[in-house]
């Protein structure tokens, strides 16, 4: 497998968690101001944003009835989102060349994804992400979670979406959470990027979301991710801005740029545009790249496809 440039673990810094007070109303006001400051009105601009969102998507299937055929279809669609449609306009030929950033599957389905992408000669273009470490709860023995990471990587995964143990967040066991993330970073090594799922709907408070974000970045996460998609509350712009503030502060302290992945709840073109605007206005245009920003979604591509084709 190829080796990747990854975020290195840094020493645990408890002082970074002191005097953290996230004002929810302040976040809400900031989000409204940011999103309204860059309204997208023209169809051309909306199509541009929609296609950008497509290239930043981790196309996901995490169903209990996933099987080889499901994953095969997912991978084909990831490679050729518009392949079912006859696009004859020369100006739209580029649509046939677009693809998503990654596919995301359970560890036991990684080999299926690998085989399909290899058959399609797309292994160098589309990443294979796998939700490991006792997804979606994280409430499994640490060794079994580490074994899942190893299994997924050995099967062909190039990205591991770990899920943290939210009980450690709720009981403020920050050092233990840090130590677990460090072990997961070690299990990934430089063979796979690590995306840390916070499960924000089960973290209790925005203060906890901020602190958990900092801990995961200290521990070596390449991305911090909002949700598993299985919680009652998933990705929303308010919590996204909270995590962005943590990313900004981590960069100020270390010079390291950590990615963000909203997952769960981003279903429409309009949803994705709001996220892209917020990223552009806070972290900057550089972040509108698969190396630093992803959408975790199963239904977003449907809306992008419908919208783009209606305008072409």
Q: Which residues are catalytic?
A: 225, 261
203 contacts: CB under 8 Å, gap ≥ 6? 166, 169, 170, 209, 212
Q: 297 and 265 in contact (C-beta within 8 Å)?
A: no
State the DSSP H helix or E strand holding residue 307, giving kind and residue range, or none if neither: helix 300-311
Which residue is it, tokens 């810094």? 13
Q: Which two tokens stand for residue 11?
A: 């020493």
Strands (E), the chain: 57-60, 102-105, 127-131, 159-163, 193-197, 223-225, 259-261, 295-297
Closest to 108 in 3D by CA, of 127, 137, 130, 126: 130
Q: Distance between CA 170 and CA 212 in Å, rounded?
A: 10
Q: Distance between CA 186 and CA 294 in Å, rounded?
A: 23
Q: Which two tokens stand for residue 38?
A: 């860059």
Q: Which two tokens stand for residue 26?
A: 């302040």
Sign of CA dihedral 289, 231, 235, 7: negative
2 contacts: CB under 8 Å, gap ≥ 6? 158
SS3 133: coil
Q: Which two tokens stand for residue 235?
A: 């990705």
Q: Helix, strand, coil % (nearest 5) of the chain? A: 50, 10, 40
């Amino acid at each position: 497998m190829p080796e990747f440039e990854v975020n290195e673990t840094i020493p645990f810094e408890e002082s970074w968690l002191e005097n953290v007070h996230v004002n929810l109303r302040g976040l809400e006001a900031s989000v409204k101001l940011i999103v309204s400051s860059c309204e997208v009105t023209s169809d051309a601009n909306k199509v541009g944003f929609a296609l950008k969102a497509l290239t930043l998507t981790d196309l996901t299937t995490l169903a209990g009835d996933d099987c080889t055929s499901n994953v095969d279809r997912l991978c084909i669609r990831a490679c050729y989102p518009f392949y079912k449609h006859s696009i004859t306009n020369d100006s739209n030929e580029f649509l046939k060349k677009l693809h998503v950033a990654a596919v995301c599957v359970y560890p036991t389905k990684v080999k299926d994804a690998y085989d399909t992408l290899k058959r399609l000669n797309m292994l160098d273009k589309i990443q294979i992400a796998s939700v490991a470490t006792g997804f979606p709860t994280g409430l499994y023995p640490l060794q079994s979670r580490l074994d899942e990471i190893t299994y997924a990587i050995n099967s062909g995964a190039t990205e591991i979406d770990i899920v943290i143990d939210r009980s450690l967040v709720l009981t403020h066991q920050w050092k233990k959470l840090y130590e677990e993330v460090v072990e997961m970073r070690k299990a990934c090594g430089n063979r796979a990027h690590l995306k840390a799922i916070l499960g924000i709907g089960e973290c209790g408070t925005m203060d906890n979301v901020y602190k958990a974000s900092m801990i995961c970045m200290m521990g070596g996460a390449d991305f911090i991710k909002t949700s598993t998609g299985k919680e009652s509350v998933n990705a929303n712009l308010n919590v996204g801005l909270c995590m962005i503030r943590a990313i900004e502060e981590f960069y100020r302290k270390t010079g390291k740029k950590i990615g963000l992945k909203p997952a769960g709840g981003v279903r429409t073109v309009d949803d994705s545009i709001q996220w892209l605007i917020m990223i552009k206005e806070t972290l900057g245009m550089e972040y509108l790249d698969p190396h630093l920003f992803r959408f975790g979604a199963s239904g977003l591509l449907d809306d992008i496809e419908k919208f783009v084709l209606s305008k072409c």
